Structure 1
């Protein structure tokens, strides 16, 4: 359980006692609870009764709390959403991206996934009266796709009335913390250390761009055992992200790539790596790890579409958009909701440019 990895000082243990236990290589709740009460008593230098009370207190801290449907309903209606700054999309989502959950943005290269993430980064730093979170951003970049110049350009063109001076631009940029992680293990290590970083930076948004990039480079799923190892790694990443989203009640946004599937007419199953239906990468199991999924796809050379392919609150909706200086833009006459017949989000067909060679690994 991810909460068991919480450091003792985050579980209500005093700094002095935490340091004492650390000298005996007991740093997390899991470390503490895997020792016998007598071992903990010796390491902590406490009486047996005080040791039992500490063990009970730590056990209660990491135990999953009981939540009622009424509490969840009150939380939703309290405005626990993060505005995308795209009114038409916020309307469909009943306020924006739900905090405490994972949102995935998938689509072919060049369709605007990183543009979407940069826009959200700007919005998160804005004052609350402007629809922002007044918090910082943790941006994990696995493709070296982050552009500080583009971040500033989006900010100044999307919110010209706010970013009127250099000081506000610099303040915004200083609150977006970039971590470039280029291997699967680096990404996982970063995620497992994020709890302290979230607290120290007052982060209100986590972005991982992209979740698929390093995984697909390192795991050739045609080799024996690799698919299992990849699934285990993705499972660890999604568990950690879900914990962080829930623990701090903040939105987590991921980007994903595309792959191709073909349905075997005899068995009715889909296999990854063949030409055929273009869908989101990483498979069916991963698609169930995210709470909300947006698909960005091409209509023509300039216009693109955003599909709400999975959401706990929104219907299957299509919004037409273009990429402008201010980022993703939806014209006023194009913001009417267009519904479509949805399907399994892991098998939802995605339109790509005919000139693009789809990565099938």
Structure 2
């Protein structure tokens, strides 16, 4: 649910919103479920104004009736990555309503693969791909090279690049606000959005036993991602790093044989809580030169441990 802001009602001034936030009334959902008497005491707004604001929020953010046939169609549209081996690994491509995680070491090719997927999907559809960039990894030049390799002319490349929306963010607050705002955008243009990529998470979230704020933010992030993917049948790809532990006990549920060294244990970053959020987890590993291996670490539909080999360069994947 979207965070409180002045665009929801002219009566929600910055001062009123600040008072509400001080009492942990942060989102429209928090406002709707709170009793009116308490909101009156916090804000000083009259009963009628609060009732009016609640009604406006319910109309804007409340559940909407959907045609079952339209829902079935949207949930049946598998999004091809245009990489045949990867599509086979994913049982046809990116499934609507699913959260994917692409994890690997630094320089394994995570961002490069995301750029190829972005260009491939833009080239084969007229939909929007939203690339959320937290580390300035997005390269418009590389996107242009990939599209040029597909034999598109300059005008066609321009059209396809306009389908790619890029947002650079640096804080969890910015990320959550962006995703909450996307719920409004998608409610009006849900048929236009094809894919959301978030590259990457570790630069925003630092999870530790004494850092409760980031764990709370990660929980919010997971919830809004689930809402976006389920409500609008859009696949979401998140990029994550891995940690390597020198230990004799393998403690993560990755398939056997996915260790980088005989004494190393590989775990995705962000801890146990996040490990349960993605529906599908892919591990990408740099073999040599342009060669990469992609292994299925987590899936409810396919055999865990299955892997493919790809050649990843600046303009395409083989």
Using the size of structure 1 for normalisation, the TM-score is 0.67
Matched, 1:279 2:305: no
Question: Which residue does the alignment assign to 1:350?
Answer: none
Question: Which residue does the alignment assign to 2:260?
Answer: none
Between stretches 284-293 and 20-29, larger displacement belongs to: 20-29
Which digits, 9 at most, give the CA deviation of each residue in 1:181-234, with x for residues without a partner?
122332233222222344567432111000112224xx6x3xx612x4433222
Of the candidates 85, 95, 112, which is equivalent to residue 88 of structure 1? Answer: 85
Instruction: Tell me the secondary structure at the aligned position of residue 213 of structure 1.
Output: coil
1:93-132 equivalence runs, <5 A: 93-126=90-123, 130=124, 132=125
Of the candidates 139, 144, 149, which is equivalent to residue 141 of structure 2? Answer: 149
Question: Which residue does the alignment assign to 2:291?
Answer: 303
Of the candidates 229, 243, 258, which is equivalent to residue 259 of structure 1? Answer: 243
Instruction: Tell me the secondary structure at the aligned position of residue 131 of structure 2.
Output: strand
Question: Which residue does the alignment assign to 2:24?
Answer: none
Query: Relative to structure 1, is the Cα distance of residues 281 and 44 closer, same or farther in structure 2, using a 3 angstrom cutoff?
Result: closer
Which digits, 9 at most, give the CA deviation of each residue in 1:153-177, with x for residues without a partner?
11221x32xx2x2111111112211
Paired with 1:245 and 1:206, the residues of 2 have a C-alpha distance of 9
Segments of 5+ residues of structure 2 without an aligned counterpart are 21-26, 41-45, 253-262
Question: Which residue does the alignment assign to 1:357?
Answer: none
Using the size of structure 2 for normalisation, the TM-score is 0.75
Asked if the contact 1:99/1:250 (under 8 Å) is kept, the reply is yes
Paired with 2:51 and 2:101, the residues of 1 have a C-alpha distance of 48
Question: Which residue does the alignment assign to 2:62?
Answer: 61
Matched, 1:215 2:212: no
Give the Å deviation of 1:75: 3.9
Instruction: Tell me the secondary structure at the aligned position of residue 317 of structure 2.
Output: strand
Segments of 5+ residues of structure 1 without an aligned counterpart are 9-14, 66-70, 330-361
Question: Which residue does the alignment assign to 1:323?
Answer: 312
Give the Å deviation of 1:116: 1.7
Query: Relative to structure 1, is the Cα distance of residues 45 and 315 closer, same or farther in structure 2, using a 3 angstrom cutoff?
Result: closer
Instruction: Tell me the secondary structure at the aligned position of residue 105 of structure 2.
Output: coil
Question: Which residue does the alignment assign to 2:172?
Answer: 184
Query: Relative to structure 1, is the Cα distance of residues 20 and 99 closer, same or farther in structure 2, using a 3 angstrom cutoff?
Result: same
CA RMSD of aligned residues (A): 3.8
Which digits, 9 at most, give the CA deviation of each residue in 1:121-164, with x for residues without a partner?
223334xxx4x3x211211111111100001111221x32xx2x
Of the candidates 201, 210, 229, which is equivalent to residue 225 of structure 1? Answer: 210
Question: Which residue does the alignment assign to 2:32?
Answer: 32
Asked if the contact 1:321/1:328 (under 8 Å) is kept, the reply is yes
Instruction: Tell me the secondary structure at the aligned position of residue 144 of structure 1.
Output: coil
Asked if the contact 1:20/1:43 (under 8 Å) is kept, the reply is no
Give the Å deviation of 1:260: 1.7
Give the Å deviation of 1:44: 6.8
Instruction: Tell me the secondary structure at the aligned position of residue 300 of structure 2.
Output: coil
Asked if the contact 2:144/2:157 (under 8 Å) is kept, the reply is yes
